[in-house]
Amino acid sequence: MLNQRQRYGEAGEALAARLLRKKGYRIIETNYRTQLGEIDIIARDGGTLVFVEVKTRRTGRFGTPKWAVTPRKQRKISMVALYYLKTTGQSQAKARFDVVSIRSAPLGPEVEIIRNAFDLLYG
């Protein structure tokens, strides 16, 4: 059973997937999990494979959601992305990392899609 925070996160990921589809992304996987970690959304944007991290916040108390994608989180996402590319035989594919930042606001969620938010980090 999901707690309230997890349900809020899931709703944010569903919103992000809908908005990405509207922008022409083709969703391939959601909540891709391995022993190394998880990637929220894997999609195709034209000829590019896109690994998307979704961050949702109810308040600005801890800063904007996009700042929660720390270098440590970027390394973890990078490792999972490399694993995905290798296990699906797409090691030579053009790829990038996007972040979808969602923040609650009085008139509805404020969403920012940050294309090419960070480079591959590992090590």
The mean per-residue pLDDT over the stretch 99-111 comes to 87
> Is 123's pLDDT higher than 60?
no
Residue 39 lies in a domain: yes
Residue 123 lies in a domain: no
Q: Contact, 102 vs 65, CB < 8 A?
A: yes
Residue 43 lies in a domain: yes
The enclosing domain of 17 has a CATH number of 3.40.1350.10
Span 12-67, pLDDT tens digits: 899 999 999 999 999 999 999 999 999 999 999 999 999 999 998 765 566 666 76
Span 64-96, pLDDT tens digits: 667 678 889 999 999 999 999 999 999 899 999
3-state class (DSSP) for residue 14: helix
Structural domain including 28 reads 4-118
CA distance 113 to 99: 6
Residue 8, classified by CB atoms within 10 Å of its CB into exposed (0-12), middle (13-18) or buried (19+), is: middle
The residues pairing with 92 across neighbouring beta strands, listed in sequence order, are none
What domain count does the chain have?
1
The residues pairing with 111 across neighbouring beta strands, listed in sequence order, are 102
